[in-house]
Copies of this chain bind each other. A is one copy, B any other.
Amino acid sequence: MKSKMWQKAEIDLRLEKLRALMLTHDIDAMLVGTNANLYYIAGRVFAGYAYIGADGTFRLFVRRPNDFEGEDVRSIRKPEQIVAILQAEGISIPEKVGLEKDGAAYNEVARLEKALGLSESKNCSGVLAAARAVKTPQEIELLRESGVRHCAVYGHIPALYREGMTDLELQVEIERELRLNGCLGIFRISGQSMELFMGNLLVGDNADNPSPYDFAMGGGGLNSSLPVGCNGSIIRPGNTVMVDMNGNFTGYMTDMTRTFYVKNLDEHARKAHNLSIAMHRALQSLIRPGVEAKEAYNLCADMAKEAGESDYFMGHRQQAGFVGHGVGIEVNEWPVLAPRSKHVFEKGNVIAIEPKFVIPGVGAVGVESTYVVGDDGIECLTPFAEEIRELL
């Protein structure tokens, strides 16, 4: 394994951010148990809980693995042991304890409330999401590394294409290339409503099939148990091929879409693809700390309207209501670039921008790249040619 845990200085930096947010949310302590948040806090996934007190207390209560040791680590069999262990160390549970009410199951929260002797608890999911929205320098480096490797694999895509392939066959070859180059495969999505395997490859009119998931593009899928993405279509002349596949190489994932076509490219599709590129340029001029996230959405929506492309913007038969989103450990982090978003861009946000269009009879077009927000603007972490490219 690459790293057993974050270094102490990195953990302290994250705890400091979390404690500052706990203060503004009137939370005295948090008990955190979901995998994504444990990885964020400790640098490794384990079965158990992280206890973070506003007073400086930090403990990791670990059920598994049985070889996880450290100064702050306490071994437990069940959460009911936590109070006694803390008490033996002179620490008592404060009144206002935050639990992950947006992410943890109802009965898990209820069990933890009882185990901690609380009549009620606060919700700390927002504190964790807000901390995770502003990446530390180390997180940005992990995202940068994912971006470099993501781009390298995308460079191999044209070589993987063969005439007469289905969408699934091309997707599987890209999956293999990603995996052999270190992609971890797992695609983490916050919440339970959205599921995706290794990302999405959409060919022709399948891009216009509505999906149940709140992704930018749908696709019918191969089976009604996972109705999203490729559906077995043969890639035919005149189709566009949109590749939006998994960039999780480090536990932190970049999000990246590039579009290809076969033989001939419809003029409407080319125009819409170039409009997507123009939107990236416009957002690169717009976004900096202090700008509202909804402005980014509105700018793209206005550009689509002005170009007469509103009916195809972010889908056609079913449209998505955003043009970008934070990425990191999970693919749907803050800020959200949507018309009613309350987020304001901050230095350290890492965002995927994905203005896309679905052209009936042709397919999906557009570009998605991941950017980090700096002092004066945004820097692209997935630098790769944006032009729509022919598959030969």
Which stretch (A7-15, A21-29, A219-227, A297-305) binds chain B? A219-227
Give the nearest-CB partner of A179 in chain B: B172
A45 at the interface (CB under 8 A from B): yes
Considering the complex of A and B, which 9 residue pairs feature the smallest CB-CB distances, nearest first? Answer: A225-B251, A65-B210, A185-B197, A44-B224, A106-B109, A101-B106, A46-B212, A47-B212, A172-B179
A105-B107 CB under 8 A given contacts A223-B2, A227-B45: no
Q: How far is the CB of A45 from chain B (nearest CB, A)?
A: 6
A224-B35 CB under 8 A given contacts A101-B105, A105-B192, A210-B65: no
Complex CA–CA separation, A182 to B221 (angstroms): 12
A195-B35 CB under 8 A given contacts A176-B176, A184-B222, A210-B66: yes
Q: How many copies does the complex hold?
A: 2
* Given A44-B227, A172-B179, A186-B226: 4 more A-B contacts, CB < 8 Å: A2-B222, A172-B180, A185-B198, A226-B251
Q: Is the interface of A mostly helix, strand, loop or mixed?
A: loop
Complex CA–CA separation, A179 to B212 (angstroms): 22
B-chain residues with CB within 8 Å of residue A225 when the two chains form the complex: 39, 44-45, 184, 186, 250-251, 329
A43 at the interface (CB under 8 A from B): yes
Contact with B along A118-136 (1 / 0, CB 8 A): 0000010100000000000
B251 near A224: Cβ-Cβ < 8 Å: yes
**Listed A/B pairs (10) with beta-carbon separation below 8 Å:** A1-B221, A44-B224, A47-B193, A64-B211, A64-B213, A64-B214, A102-B106, A105-B106, A184-B197, A185-B198
